[in-house]
């Protein structure tokens, strides 16, 4: 039902799959898969589709629209409130997870710097006359060289991420 409704409404609005894809910020193949029934849009995308089509989500899903009574409106508003709370909770949980990932990234970068400082570039004293230590020394040296140059930028980015994803009071 959904696949036919998306295709029918899209055509009635005079939109090509490519035009609809641009409006929804997806690729044309995604629209094609929806219309063929190979995949379905998630709840957020259904809302976006309904906004582009200027059509209620219930119409997209194939529900027959009848005139709403006061009790029906109350039930609908309660359902919408629950959905909004769930979406807000999901957004908060996602933001919290990203916040802790940034904190973890900061901790890992600082820990690796501490290890490098304590080791004091051990590869400089290695015996490079044997192939295995020579390769290990070069690999360790390359890692340290790249890390010392890239990690400060990553640490600054992680601090900015921690600041931007903090919970606002």
- 117 assigned to some structural domain: yes
The residue segments making up the domain with residue 17 are 2-60
**Residue 80, domain member (yes or no):** no
Asked if residue 77 is part of any domain, the answer here is no
Contact assessment for residue 123 and residue 154, using Cβ atoms and an 8 Å cutoff: no
Does residue 100 fall inside a structural domain? yes
Give mean pLDDT, residues 86-109: 93
159 and 98 in a common domain:
yes
Statement to judge: residues 56 and 121 lie in one domain:
no
Buried b (16+ CB within 10 A) or exposed e, 116-154: beeeeeebeeeeeeeeeeeeebeebeeebeeeeeebeee
Residue 137 has pLDDT above 50, yes or no: yes
Question: Whole-model pTM?
Answer: 0.47
The C-alpha atoms of residue 79 and residue 73 are separated, in whole angstroms, by 10
Res 58: pLDDT = 82
21 is a domain residue:
yes
Task: Show the tokens assigned to 90.
Answer: 């999901």
Distance, CA of 52 to CA of 30 (rounded, Å):
16
Comparing C-alpha atoms, which of 160, 153, 150, 147 is closest to residue 103?
Answer: 160
Same domain, 109 and 160: yes
CATH number for the domain that contains residue 22: 1.10.260.40
Q: Has residue 141 got a pLDDT over 70?
A: yes
Whether 124 is covered by a domain: the verdict is: yes
| Number of domains present in the structure of the chain | 2
pLDDT at 5: 85
- Asked whether residue 101 falls in the same domain as residue 38, the answer is no
Q: What is the mean pLDDT of the chain?
A: 85
Whole-number Å distance between alpha carbons of 165 and 88 = 15
């Amino acid at each position: 039902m959904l696949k036919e409704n998306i295709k029918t409404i899209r055509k009635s609005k005079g939109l090509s799959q490519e035009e609809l894809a641009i409006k929804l910020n997806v690729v044309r193949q995604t629209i094609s898969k929806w219309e063929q029934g190979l995949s379905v849009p998630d709840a957020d995308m259904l809302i976006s589709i309904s906004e582009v089509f200027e059509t209620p989500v219930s119409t997209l899903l194939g529900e027959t629209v009848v005139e709403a009574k006061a009790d029906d409106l109350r039930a609908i508003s309660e359902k919408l409130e629950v959905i909004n709370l769930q979406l807000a909770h999901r957004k908060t949980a996602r933001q919290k997870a990203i916040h802790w990932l940034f904190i973890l990234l900061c901790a890992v970068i600082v820990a690796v710097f501490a290890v490098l400082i304590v080791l004091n570039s051990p590869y400089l004293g290695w015996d490079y006359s044997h192939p295995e230590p020579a390769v290990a020394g070069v690999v360790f040296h390359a890692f340290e060289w790249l890390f010392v140059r890239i990690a400060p930028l990553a640490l600054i980015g992680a601090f900015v991420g921690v600041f931007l994803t903090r919970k606002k009071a």
